Structure 1
Amino acid sequence: MANLCVAGGTGQVGRDVVRLALDAGHTVSVLSRHAPQAGSEKHHDGATYFAGDVTTGAGLEAAVAGADVVIDCLEGQFGKARKRFADGGVRLLEAADRAGVRKAVVLSIINCDRSTAAYYASKSAKERVYQESPLETVAVRATQFHSLPVAVFQAGAGVGLIPVFKGARFQPISPLDAAAAVLEAALEPGSSEDHRIRTVGGPEVLGMREMAVMWKSVTGARGRVVELPLPGAMGRYLRAGLNLAPGHAWGRETFVSWLEKRRETL
């Protein structure tokens, strides 16, 4: 059994990593900005929680102490958090190195290094931090989560229009499947390669219009599906199919099955 430290272990993917690791009998410490209260959906009995901040370094030493592997599921989507995202990775890896951690795994996004979109660029910058670390490191690049197109559909449904982006297809993966891939990478035997990239995608490739129709059917949402152009870096990324990995279909949960499990909250 391994001793794992999950940074961002209260987030969407991180808390699934924590639960899967505990179920498998591993020892788990969790680093998050705020330690969750027992009984909350972000708290798992059996894990040890540490409050810390990778942007300042506070609390990192205690969280990584004794860990065999550090798993980085931290997010920084907006503003200062995104600007400091890669630097936070530096502080986390430095603390891990000082503690004698042998390996670090970071959750990333497929082909993030081929997009100039700010969020994707921040992911790519963090990957470079991991590549330059003295630790053995793995970047697990996942395709977009099922929730991404759903957020787009919901944004327009309020005014009776369900937007789909022209030429866009997705290979969405569930956070649980992504968490399983991250944990698997963390527990793999040591490698002679200092840094590796592993790509994981959802079980199917779907057109965005097709997904909108599925979403309407499952949720009962009303509105007209409207195809719109998506300008800028994200539009170029999607039209080029850089969000797809048909040769790396790893996830099991389809878009419809994910929707059906969450019917009451969508």
Structure 2
Amino acid sequence: MTRICVAGGTGQVGREVVRQGVAGGHRVAVLSRNPPAPGTAGHIDGAEYFRADVTTGEGLAAALAGADVVVDCLEGFSGKARKNFADGGARLLAAAQDAGVGRAVMLSIVNCDRSSAGYYRSKAAKETVYEHSGLETLVLRATQFHSLLARVFAAGARVRLVPVVKGARFQPIAHTEVAAALLDAALEAPSGARHRVRTIGGPEIVNMRELARSWQRATGARGRLVEFPLPGAMGKYLRAGLNLVPEERHGTQTFEGWLAMHADSL
């Protein structure tokens, strides 16, 4: 039985790693600044929760004690969290090494090192921290999640304008499949390599307009599809197709399949 410490185990992907790990019979510790109380929606029965903060180091030793592997699902979307994202990763890895953890697995984004967007740059900086760590490390780069596109469409639909980035295509993947890949990486036998990068993408590449239409059919949401050119770093990233990995179609759940499974909550 493996003891897994999941950093950021209360977020979308991290919570799923925790759920799958517990279901697989593993001992799972969850590291979070705000652990959910037993009986609440975010609490997974069978997991052990620790209040810890990678920005200060507080609580890390207790959360990592006895762990065989740490899975890093932490996010730094904006502000101070993004600015300190790589430093937090370094602090987590140092604490893991002190605790005798054998491996660390990090969730990242495809081609983040080829984008100048702030969020993607923070991911790339953290990848570099992992690359130079004293632990055996693996970075799992994923394409965008189905849920991200659904949120974008839903936000626009509130004003009856469903946004479509001109020329953009996506290869979305289910967060549950990404969580399974993270867990597989955490549990596999030692490779002998100090650092590896692995990529996982969804099963199909689809124009954003078609994805928006699928979302409208599934939700019944009304609104006009509005195509617009996206400026800046993200527009450049999407126009270059850097969000796509055609050779790495590991997911099996399509966007339409995901919509059908989540129709009641969309």
TM-score of the pair, normalised by structure 1: 0.98
In 2, Cα distance between equivalents of 1:185 and 1:157: 38
Number of matched pairs: 266
In 1, Cα distance between equivalents of 2:154 and 2:48: 36
In 2, Cα distance between equivalents of 1:71 and 1:109: 15
Report whether the alignment pairs 1:124 with 2:128: no
In 2, Cα distance between equivalents of 1:265 and 1:83: 33
Query: Equivalent residue for 1:110?
Result: 110
In 2, Cα distance between equivalents of 1:18 and 1:86: 23
1:127-161 Cα deviation digits (max 9, x unpaired): 00000100000000000011222222122212221
Deviation at 1:176, TM superposition (A): 0.5
Show structure 2 runs of 5+ residues with no match: none
In 2, Cα distance between equivalents of 1:169 and 1:33: 36
1:64-84 Cα deviation digits (max 9, x unpaired): 000010100011101100101
Give 1:183's aligned amino acid: L
Deviation at 1:163, TM superposition (A): 1.2
Q: After superposing the two structures, state which structure 1 stretch, 30-39 or 151-160, moved more.
A: 151-160
For residue 63 of structure 2, give the secondary structure of its aligned residue in structure 1: helix
Deviation at 1:261, TM superposition (A): 2.2
Query: Equivalent residue for 2:251?
Result: 251
Give 1:142's aligned amino acid: A
Query: Equivalent residue for 2:81?
Result: 81
Runs (4 or more) in structure 1 with deviation over 4 Å come to none
1:1-41 Cα deviation digits (max 9, x unpaired): 21110000111000100111111111111100111111222
Give 2:106's aligned amino acid: V
In 2, Cα distance between equivalents of 1:3 and 1:182: 14
Q: RMSD over aligned Cα, in angstroms?
A: 0.9
Query: Equivalent residue for 1:49?
Result: 49
Query: Equivalent residue for 1:209?
Result: 209
1:54-73 map, 5 Å: 54-73=54-73
1:186-231 Cα deviation digits (max 9, x unpaired): 1111112110000001111111000010001000010111210000
Give 1:144's aligned amino acid: Q
Query: Equivalent residue for 2:174?
Result: 174
For residue 248 of structure 1, give the secondary structure of its aligned residue in structure 2: coil
1:92-241 map, 5 Å: 92-241=92-241
For residue 116 of structure 1, give the secondary structure of its aligned residue in structure 2: coil
Give 2:115's aligned amino acid: S
In 2, Cα distance between equivalents of 1:218 and 1:52: 40
1:91-145 Cα deviation digits (max 9, x unpaired): 1000000011110000000000000000000000110000010000000000001
For residue 28 of structure 1, give the secondary structure of its aligned residue in structure 2: strand
Q: After superposing the two structures, state which structure 1 stretch, 114-123 or 150-159, moved more.
A: 150-159
TM-score of the pair, normalised by structure 2: 0.98
